[in-house]
Every structure is written in C-alpha cells, then in structure tokens.
Amino acid sequence: MAGSSLPPPDRIQQMLLGFWVSRTLFTGVELGVFDELAKGPASAEVLAYRMRLHPRALERLLNALVALGLLRLDNGRYANTLEADTYLVKDRPTYVGGPVEHMARLHWRLWEYLPDAVRENAPRVKQVFGPSFDLFQALAADPQRLRAFVQGITLTLPTAQEIVSAYDFSPHRLLLDVGGGSGALCIAAVQRYPHLRAIVLEQPLVVQVARENLEAHGVADRVSVVEGDFFRKETIPTGADVIALGWVLHDLTPHQARQVLRNCYDALQPGGAILVCEKLLDETRTAPLLTALLNLHDLVATGGEEHTATEYQQWLAEAGFTDFSVHILHGPRDLLVGWKR
C-alpha cells in the first residue's frame, strides 16, 4: 500500500495522550483551582500567592485547563467556565469531584498494573496497596477520603436526575435504594415527585455520608437511611413498591447478583418495580466504549464484570421478575426495569 494512502495516526495519538487530560483534571481538583476561582477571576500570580504554588508552573496548569474548556482567560485573569463552576466546586450541590478524587487516589494506581490483571484474570488491589490492605479500614480513618470514595462509586446527582427523568415514579409511594451510597437517586426522585418517600440502605460506614448529603439537599425529612446488607434478606426493609440497584450488580459474581435480586424480590411489594441502573454492554460486548472500558476497570479493580441487558434480564427472571423494559441513557448509567406481578 502506498504511503500516501495510509490514514494518519491521529486517533492513536489522541489515545496515547489521553492520560495527560485525566491527570490535568485530577491536579486541578486536588489543588483546589476551581474552588479558588469560584471566589472570582484572578491572575496566575494572585492565585499562586493565595494557593502557595509556583506562579510559572501554575500558569501552565491554568492554560491547559483553558485549552480543555474548564477555565476562561480574559485580560490576564482566569475564571471557571459554567461547567467547571457547576460540577467542580466542592460546596456546590452538583459537585462531581468525588469521583475525580477517587479515581486519582485509587484507580490511577491500579490501572498501571492492567497487564498483570490480564495475565492473571485478577484485580490488583493487593499488588498495589499490599497484602494486608483493607480499603474500608483506610476509609474509616479519613472522613474526607470516605466521602470522595462514596461519591466515586455511586450515582452523582446529575446521573440520578437523568434516571429519574427516564422513569415515571408517580405510581409509587416508597422507593428503596439498595446500596444507595450518597443517596443521590433518592434525592433526585423526591425532589421531582413531592408525594414520594424514600429509604437508602447502606453499610454502617457509609450511612453518615448519606445522611449529610440528604441534609445538605433539604430532603432528610422525606428520605431515611437504614444500615443493612443486601446479602442478608432480614436487613432489607420491606414495604417499598419500587426498589433501585444503582451500580451494584456489576461488582458481584453472577451467584451473588442472583442472591441480591432474590432478596429484593422478596422485599418488594406485589405489583412493584425494580430498577437496575448499570451501563449496559451491547450484545457483541464491544460497545459502548464507556462500558467496554468499565469492564476492564472491573478486572483491575474489583473482580466484577459488566453485562448485557439479556444477561441481567435472565437473572431478574430467575428471581421472579417479568415485563422488562430497557432505557439507554446518555450518561454513565442505563436503566433496566422489571416488575413483580
């Protein structure tokens, strides 16, 4: 083939430099650039003085964030874009920096060992952090890191709002979010449907984070938090007519997933619905890109696996659910609905 007919390697070059983009975002969040600029526009010199950073080095970071569309530069002063001000400032209710912090601290290091995970078909947590490492013990000792972790592994509020927009909660009166993390789905649901009440079921370590989040959004009077374990049926509250599993099943083995679905079926009121919120693989298992990459992340980090709608429907049917519908959403989750008839 003649050299002139070869396509340029532009896509490969973009892939090659992709980690530069991630690390730039991580650094902006870690150093508090967006928080500082939320106070108002400032020059690199002023920011460097306030943040105790080197002015010339900080200017390089700020310019890269401008190039990424996260900052603006006008007359020598930097400012957050609307997107950054909405999602990357810590005291905003729409803050999504928790997942950013979580990825920077944990996922970044694990992905260095992806080749070993592929060789051995096993996650790399022990390899990276040591054989005696216990993630939840480490998190318990660091409340800020715990909050970032919970936000990183559960739904963000914008994603929860998309799910609530895709599903009609008006026939329901009580939502139970099993493994509900920060409570984002319950917050979005009760804000959109004033008649609805909700329960977040979570592990003891996480419940305080959920309660703080509910208080911050002014819905603690309509959403309660209960300690429990979705593997233990007796700890799952009964009485809900809609149960949600948001990004839970993909971390489990098929046997564990089936057990959790059976427990949810038993806890759900007759005529109620179950909402499985996962990013679905298509039937070829090669798309969409986000889910294919998430499948690799499961390999290196948790030992879990992403699945197709057909696979989830099979497990749901085995648990007793029927009448399935699938909603492909724009964000990092899709929605699969089943019913207990």
* Residue 163 · residue 332 · CB < 8 Å: no
Distance CA 70, CA 65 (A): 5
Distance CA 326, CA 321 (A): 14
Burial label for 75, CB within 10 Å (0-12, 13-18, 19+), is exposed
According to DSSP, residue 133 is labeled -
* 3-class DSSP state of 201: strand
Written as one letter, the residue type at 93 is: P
From residue 11, give the alpha-carbon distance in Å to each of 6, 244, 331. Answer: 13, 38, 23
Known catalytic residues are 250
- Bridge partners (DSSP) of residue 336 are 276, 326
According to DSSP, residue 124 is labeled -
Distance CA 117, CA 114 (A): 5
- Pairing of β 197-202 and β 223-227: parallel
Q: Which residue has the tokens 């939502």?
A: 175
